[in-house]
Structure 1
Amino acid sequence: MDLMENNIKAVPFNNNVETGLRILCILNESYPRSIDLQKLVYLDYMTVHSADIDKSVESLHAAVPYRNGELLVRSSIIQKGINLFISKGLIDRVFNETGIEYLASEYSTPYLEMLEEEYLLNLINRANWVAANFSDLPKKLLKEILSSKMQDVRNEYNIELLH
């Protein structure tokens, strides 16, 4: 089947599989902590655009202008990825007093250990960095960190427009 004949576009990044895989890596590296959707949005952005947070850490994806807008649309994309990986038994949904959170299942580590692609190894490295440095922080503080860094991103591209 030709993709062009059916007007189907292949989307290599931020599709359900790639997004779900990123969330799985974050949850696996954060285990045994469970994490809610909004916090996963923040942690996912930090995983993808690590250099926005710490210039000594290379970002997983290229730095594109206006990427700070990703935070506004990331929630629904992440939810679809989570649902896909829940259906495969790799992510568990946890109901507690604060609401719905997500947790890496017992199958997540063996699954991830089977994968050897360079992108995945880089993803695990970034997810480990994010989990070690940010997953214990409250959402309010994560939002403040991202807000201050997003101002830097906006300034970076506004300055480039002046040249």
Structure 2
Amino acid sequence: MTGWHFRRDALGREVGPYSWTIEACRIAALCEAIGESSEIHFDEEAARRAGYAGIVAPPTFAHVIDEETARQAREQGNPTVLDLIGADLRHIVHGSETYDLFAPMLSGDTVTIRHRIDGFELKKGGALDLARVTSRIGHPERGLLTTLSRIYIHVRPEGAA
């Protein structure tokens, strides 16, 4: 594929691992932005009373980890997933995002994220090009915490074949 399509040679490629430490203030900022008000996301005592070892990040915090580690990759001169698939940000839209939770992400955790480019698919007679990416976030002692599965969509630019 050429032009506006995703790069098929990226299939099966992986990005990472990258590590990042979760901070309580970042959890609070996301929760405020999305309207999450549970005390376990803001107050360590409340989280401990609920049986957690620290402030609990909501599932969507995986996206924050993804963004922070993508920034880290760029600073180190390494390609991100979007670089590998040849994403043209002028023509990309968010298709879907799902989370599988295995254990909580907690403030103070240093987690590792790895991404894998799982597949591509054309839809709507080739007007849409989809890329499937899976990100796995793990902890060195507690194992896999969550997976983030996303679909990115390139929309064919007007006049492109």
TM-score, length-normalised on structure 2? 0.24
* Bigger-Rg structure (1/2): 2
Structure with higher helix content = 1
More strand by share: 2
